[in-house]
Amino acid sequence: MTSSLAAQLTVTTPIDLSAYDSRATTGFEGKKADAAEQLAEMGDELSDLQERLFAGGRSGVSKTRILIVLQGMDTSGKGGIIRHVAGLVDPQGLAISSFKQPTPAELEHDFLWRIRRGLPDPGTIGVFDRSHYEDVLIARVRQLAAPEEIERRYNAINKFEKEFTDSGGVILKCFLHITSEDQKERLAARLDDPTKHWKYNSGDLDERMLWSDYQHAYAVALERCSPEHAPWHVVPSGRKWYRNWAVASLLLDELRNLHLEWPDADYDISVEKARLAGL
């Protein structure tokens, strides 16, 4: 019996990101050409389970909600996951939050303030395109906060995520792992393709110059913030088709594990049928 994909991709400590193969296809059986078909098939089940989740939230009978946290270096595919995986379910049941450089107003609050505002409501699947982890990643690499404050944040994150999972939340954290070479290829492809020029920003290269600092900051964050109820998954993302397949599979497994039932009617069905018949 093979272990679940989640177990296979869950980060193990101590963490050495350079030991992970970005082009691995862990857990995937079949040929690359099969991945799109498998993804479409998963889409039908994801869509069904998402509707059950949504029904539970809408009916007020369940507080269950899912938060997908996407982190990764530029070009690792956070947007691709939203388009190709989150895009498989009803957009009414999605709450997508993209966390960019904090605004002055956001900076006046604790770093988790804007994050809490983006949390999904019961029945909803939230997707964080970047997240509170930026506050221990770019903030650490670029020294945007004092070392003691960065230090404080790891525990604050663990506490925050625990509150979320204790109150009916399920959290799925995916680090989209690519190598510096993968990124170089993808940035070059963006510069070569007029339909992708808008995705490129010359600031991307400033961040790229700090690659090893970022890898270190990621390793620390993944090591310190990966408790059993909210583990990090290292998703090999050198192959886009595998990355999409893997995150869809992880999400599907989370949804299956919830054993979601359709909510019961909170009205008398026969009474309503009789009323309707008369109208």
Q: Quick check: helix, strand or coil at residue 175?
A: strand
Question: 196-215: which residues touch a copy of itself (CB under 8 A)?
Answer: 197-202, 205, 208-209
Count residues near a copy of itself (CB under 8 A): 42
Q: Does 82 bind a copy of itself (CB under 8 A)?
A: yes
Judged by CB under 8 A, which of 3, 104, 194, 228 binds a copy of itself?
194
Question: Any idea how long the chain is?
Answer: 279
Q: Quick check: helix, strand or coil at residue 133?
A: helix
Judged by CB under 8 A, which of 32, 34, 37, 79 binds a copy of itself?
79
Of 83-91, 151-159, 167-175, 247-255, the window that binds a copy of itself (rule: CB under 8 A) is: 83-91
Q: In what order do the strands lie in the sheet with 65-72?
A: 94-98, 125-129, 65-72, 169-177, 232-236
Q: Does 33 bind a copy of itself (CB under 8 A)?
A: no
DSSP for residue 86: G
Q: How far is CA 11 from CA 8, 195, 219, in A?
A: 8, 35, 10
Query: What φ, ψ does residue 126 adopt, rounded to 5°?
Result: -90, 145
Of 7, 67, 72, 69, nearest to 228 (Cα)?
7
N-to-C CA span, the chain? 57
Asked whether the beta carbons of 158 and 227 are under 8 A apart, the reply is yes
Q: Minimum distance between the CB of residue 208 and a copy of itself, rounded to whole angstroms?
A: 6
Asked whether the beta carbons of 89 and 125 are under 8 A apart, the reply is yes
Q: Closest CB to a copy of itself among 21 and 193?
A: 193
Q: Minimum distance between the CB of residue 87 and a copy of itself, rounded to whole angstroms?
A: 5
Q: Closest CB to a copy of itself among 1 and 269?
A: 269
Q: Does 3 bind a copy of itself (CB under 8 A)?
A: no
Q: How are the residues of the chain apportioned to helix, strand and coil, as percentages rounded to the nearest 5?
A: 55, 10, 35
User: x/- site string to a copy of itself, residues 131 to 170, per CB under 8 A?
Assistant: ----------------------------------------
Q: Minimum distance between the CB of residue 146 and a copy of itself, rounded to whole angstroms?
A: 29
Question: 87-126: which residues touch a copy of itself (CB under 8 A)?
Answer: 87, 89-92, 94, 96, 98
Binding positions for a copy of itself, rule: CB under 8 A: 55, 58-59, 79, 82-83, 86-87, 89-92, 94, 96, 98, 129, 184, 187-188, 191, 194-195, 197-202, 205, 208-209, 262-265, 267, 269, 272-273, 275-276, 279
